[in-house]
Amino acid sequence: MIKFPGFRKRKNDASVEISDIEQHDTERKQFREVLESINATRIADRLKILDEFLTVELHITLPDMLEYIKAGGNDDYDLEFLRETMEMFCECGFAQKNEFEAQETTYEHHHLGDHHDHFICISCGLIREFRNSRLESLQMEIASGFNFHPLQHKMEIYGLCEDCLAKRDKNPPLIQISVGEQVRVVEVLGSRQFQARMTSMGLNPGVLLEVINNNPSGPFIVAVQGTRLALDADMAQSILVSHVCRHKEGNGR
């Protein structure tokens, strides 16, 4: 669930820029005209929801949006009416729907002429927007090389935010490592017989490995030196590892 800030940016707040107010007023007028042109029902109610949505500068789920609206003193809307209205925002170009992996659907403003991509933390669910003109130029350069004419695109980069990484033990057991993460084996716990077995599999201290699958209902799969290995939960719990920062080691290989 995406948590919204402790303060509410409203048009009479000093924290709201004049340009924001003007932009919101423009979008409200445009949305009213669109609703009237398609003979939409409950236009006044949908405009109230738009007013609330335009004060939220973050990705927000429908349940959180409903809570946000009720916190502002509006108790006249249920989740289904809100869902229908948010879908209308998307269809009319005032909002964008995001369906990130393993997260609830979120909505954000669709600012005309603006494009951004997303970092998504797979641990806490943090969604962080970023813009990079060099990345945009490179994508166009690559597309041109293939004589391809892009119309739209999105980039979603999944990983761990700095807060989640900082909260984790320095040398957690392998079983706690996320899919796609690269780590180095620090220590193998257990009997000499068990340690010898792990060494025979190539899982000795200093070895770099990547987690391929850690689904509790399936096998725990790691990649080690180009080989896929299946481990049980006890094995993965007994292998202590350290995070390999791709920033420092290139792609970590």
| In the chain, domain spans | 1-114, 120-167, 169-243
Q: Which fold has domain 169-243?
A: SH3 type barrels. (2.30.30)
Write down the pLDDT at residue 244: 93
Q: Which pLDDT band holds residue 153 (cuts at 50, 70, 90)?
A: confident
CATH number of the 1-114 domain = 1.10.10.10
Write down the pLDDT at residue 74: 81
Q: Which of 21-25, 117-121, 164-168 is least confident?
A: 21-25
As a whole-number percent, the residues of the chain with pLDDT over 70 amount to 90
* Mean pLDDT, rounded, of the chain: 87
- Gyration radius from the chain CA atoms: 24
Write down the pLDDT at residue 17: 57
Whether 120-167 shares its CATH topology with 169-243 is answered no
- pLDDT tops 70 at residue 8: no
Q: What is the pTM of this model?
A: 0.73
- pLDDT tops 50 at residue 131: yes
- pLDDT tops 50 at residue 252: no
**What mean pLDDT do residues 107-118 have?**
85
Write down the pLDDT at residue 253: 43
Please, is 171 exposed, middle or buried when counting C-beta atoms within 10 Å of its C-beta (0-12, 13-18, 19+)? middle
Tokens of 101: 């992996």
Q: Which pLDDT band holds residue 115 (cuts at 50, 70, 90)?
A: confident
Measure the CA–CA gap between 156 and 122, rounded to whole angstroms.
12
**What mean pLDDT do residues 44-71 have?**
91
Max CA pair span of the chain = 77
Instruction: Check: CB of residue 25 under 8 Å from CB of residue 73.
Output: no
Q: What angle do CA 220, 223, 224 make, to 5 degrees?
A: 125
Question: Looking at the domain covering 120-167, what would its CATH class be?
Answer: alpha beta
Q: Which pLDDT band holds residue 250 (cuts at 50, 70, 90)?
A: low
**What mean pLDDT do residues 243-249 have?**
78
Residue 114 in 3-state DSSP?
coil
Q: Which pLDDT band holds residue 4 (cuts at 50, 70, 90)?
A: very low
